[in-house]
Amino acid sequence: SHILGYIGEVDKEQIDKLNQALEELHQKDDRKYSAGDYAGKSGLERQYELMLHGTDGGMEIEVDALGRTRRVLRYVEPIPGNTLRLTIDKDLQIAAYRAMQGKTGAAVAINPQTGEVLAMVSKPDFDPNIFVQKLNKEDWMKIVTNRSNPLQNRAISNKYPPGSTFKPITAVAALESDTASSETTLVCTGIGLYKRRCWKVHGRVDMTKAIAQSCDVYFYEIGRRLGINRIAQMARSFGLGSPTGIDLPFEKKGTVPDEKWKMERFKERWWPGETVICAIGQGYIQTTPIQMASAAAALANWGKRFQPYIVKEVVNSNGGLTSSTAPKQLAPVSAGQKAFEQVRFGMRQAVIGQGGTGRVVDIPGIAVAGKTGSAEDPPRKRPHAWFICFAPMENPEIAIAVISEQGGHGSTGAAPVARAILDVYFGKKKAKDIKPTVVHVVGD
């Protein structure tokens, strides 16, 4: 429902805006909006309103003194609007929807080679059919005051700290800047810089183990060495802190903090303790699920980035192709192959290695790389569960990001959703057989 959106009766402000847009397209005379018309309010219905909007038909007749029709003077045939053909894979969409049942959050799957969105689910959702008939004020207030905010597409419009799914980005920054190497080791005793805790005692860890087992203490130190400005620079290179440009309305850009940002926002200096928590995806940093899916795709694609999109083609009422969307390549991540190779290896070990936090997505015959995350949400105590992944390693076809609000550990609250999507994509299960996900495995 969030992809398609909903329609509603236009108000004066929307009438003026839409007619102005039509005038700019030199189409106002034929397709003018007026009171009583309906138009898209969210989703693709809003984004592509002018393409979906047809032309009203009409009849001019001559009547006698009694109002009886004498003859038809003029008849105008109504012209249907265009049709959108989407990139969404029906089976993957069903799988994601079923796996997310009972959760609050979002799941996004994209093709890392093109940017095509294969699935996008936001929970809770809504029935768009309720908007076809005019809602009374009471029913509308029930929807807009619902604390779970079902109208909001969490995949693009909700911002969250990414938690440990941000660690691969910190790792790429460290490796690319020679701040750390694959051999850089330290001992995790469960407590790191500024007395900040790790989720477990890891002992001696190197870069691979730190990614695979999600060691906070390791990344506290790596973050300290990097400094916030280099972390932020790499995050922006992955596309964080800016809208992805997906063809849906109301996308949020998120936040990538650095020294300048904090001074402008709070008139305060940046503190080293804030750097170490940012290095593990906490603190001021905020991302959307579509951004994290795009970041996962960039990791899959050795830094090559594409703008995500949902509409593949626009077809007119006669079946003729009006337009098609070509993949749009974006500026690549500013890092070399060696850095990506090491981080990708760590993400693979998260899935197959001993103590790896992403073992839920270990699928026989399919090389999956992934990263779990738990993002603290102080007002509600229980952390958000995150998971990002891509597969297959050698020639990635799918990249996924999942968030489950207050879902706890990423391995239990989010990774099983990704597993369900992967199982259907690679033919291991049918979409109709996917059930709401509950897995009892402990890990970040």
Do 12 and 108 share a domain, yes or no?
no
Which has more pLDDT, 336 or 378?
336
Residue 439's pLDDT is 53
Of the candidates 52, 47, 61, the residue with the CA atom closest to the CA atom of residue 33: 52
In a domain, 67, yes or no: no
Do 52 and 109 share a domain, yes or no?
no
Do 113 and 37 share a domain, yes or no?
no
pLDDT mean across residues, the chain: 93
Residue 153, amino acid: N
Do 49 and 98 share a domain, yes or no?
no
Residue 308's pLDDT is 99
Do 294 and 247 share a domain, yes or no?
yes
Do 40 and 99 share a domain, yes or no?
no
* Overall number of domains in the chain: 2
In a domain, 170, yes or no: yes
Residue among 164, 237, 374, 404 flagged as catalytic: 164
In a domain, 2, yes or no: no
pLDDT digits (tens, 9 = 90+) for 263-307: 999 999 999 999 999 999 999 999 999 999 999 999 999 999 999
Last residue of a domain, one of 43, 62, 81: 62
In a domain, 145, yes or no: yes
Within 10 A of 102 (CB to CB), how many other CB atoms are there? 11
Examine the pLDDT at 192 and tell me if it is beyond 90: no
In a domain, 196, yes or no: yes
- What pairs with residue 55 in β-bridges? 79
- What is the span of the domain harbouring residue 372? 90-433
Burial track 205-240 (b if 16+ CB lie within 10 A, e otherwise): bbbbbbbbbbbbbbbbbbbbebbbebbbbbbebbbb
pLDDT digits (tens, 9 = 90+) for 220-255: 999 999 999 999 999 999 999 999 999 999 999 999
In a domain, 85, yes or no: no
Mean pLDDT for 53-76 is 82
In a domain, 440, yes or no: no
Do 286 and 418 share a domain, yes or no?
yes
Residues 6+ apart with CB under 8 A from 320: none
Q: How confident is the model at residue 423 (pLDDT cuts 50, 70, 90)?
A: very high
Which has more pLDDT, 203 or 58?
203
Distance CA 184, CA 73 (A): 85
Do 237 and 340 share a domain, yes or no?
yes
Active site residue 164: yes
Q: Kindly report the CATH number assigned to the domain that includes residue 290.
A: 3.40.710.10
Residues 6+ apart with CB under 8 A from 318: none
Do 182 and 258 share a domain, yes or no?
yes
Do 417 and 323 share a domain, yes or no?
yes
Q: Backbone phi, then psi, for 105, in 5-degree steps? A: 160, -150
Do 11 and 95 share a domain, yes or no?
no
In a domain, 96, yes or no: yes
Residue 406's pLDDT is 93
Distance CA 279, CA 173 (A): 10
Longest Cα–Cα distance of the chain, Å, equals 97
Distance CA 86, CA 311 (A): 4
Last residue of a domain, one of 47, 62, 77: 62
Do 175 and 48 share a domain, yes or no?
no
pLDDT digits (tens, 9 = 90+) for 25-62: 876 556 788 888 889 999 999 999 999 987 777 778 88
